[in-house]
């Protein structure tokens, strides 16, 4: 009947997502329940593809599903002022920057620890263990 109706596997391919993940997004309300064929197969169209791609892109950018849910709500209202969207983005950026700072410290510590173990001793005199052990 309708042209261009996609099955779940097609949608998965289009949006580079796993089939199970799509069903999961539907279950938690991130994707709307699609129409079904007579034999109960889900069918999708390009709007679904767009929405799913948007979600996946946000995930790749590190947004949580809750943040994405909020972004989707905000962006569905065309007249909505967009400063809230910016706020979410900015707050997420701050999170990411904080995480980078943490990991950088951590990497420095690990480098220091790893340097302390050159020479192939045994555990009894291994400096790594001592470095990790708090005194």
Alpha carbon 17 to its chain's center: 12
**Out of DNA, a second copy, none, which partner does residue 66 contact, by CB within 5 to 8 A per kind?**
DNA
Q: Rule CB under 7 A: say whether 45 interacts with DNA.
A: no
* Paired tokens of 26: 């539907």
Q: Kindly identify the residues of this chain, within the stretch 56-95, that bind a second copy according to CB under 8 A.
A: 57-58, 61-62, 71, 74-75, 77-83, 85-86, 89-90, 92-93
> What gap in Å lies between CA 135 and CA 126, rounded to an integer?
15
Which entry of DNA, a second copy, none binds 123, CB below 5 to 8 A by partner kind?
a second copy
What does the DSSP assignment read for 92-117?
A: HHHHHHHHHHHHHHHHHHHHHHHHTT
Three-state DSSP at 35 gives strand
Contacts with DNA by CB under 7 A lie at: 7-10, 12, 18-21, 23-24, 36-42, 59, 64-66
């Amino acid at each position: 009947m309708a042209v261009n109706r996609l099955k779940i596997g097609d949608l998965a391919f289009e949006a580079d997502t796993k089939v199970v993940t799509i069903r999961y997004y539907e279950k938690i309300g991130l994707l709307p329940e699609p129409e079904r064929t007579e034999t109960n197969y889900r069918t999708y169209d390009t709007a679904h593809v767009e929405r799913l791609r948007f979600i996946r892109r946000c995930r790749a950018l590190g947004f949580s599903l809750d943040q994405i849910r909020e972004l989707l709500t905000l962006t569905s209202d065309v007249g909505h002022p967009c400063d809230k969207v910016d706020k979410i983005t900015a707050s997420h950026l701050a999170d990411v920057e904080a995480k980078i700072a943490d990991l950088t410290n951590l990497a420095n510590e690990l480098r220091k620890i790893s340097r302390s173990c050159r020479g192939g001793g045994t555990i009894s005199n291994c400096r790594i263990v001592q470095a990790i052990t708090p005194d």
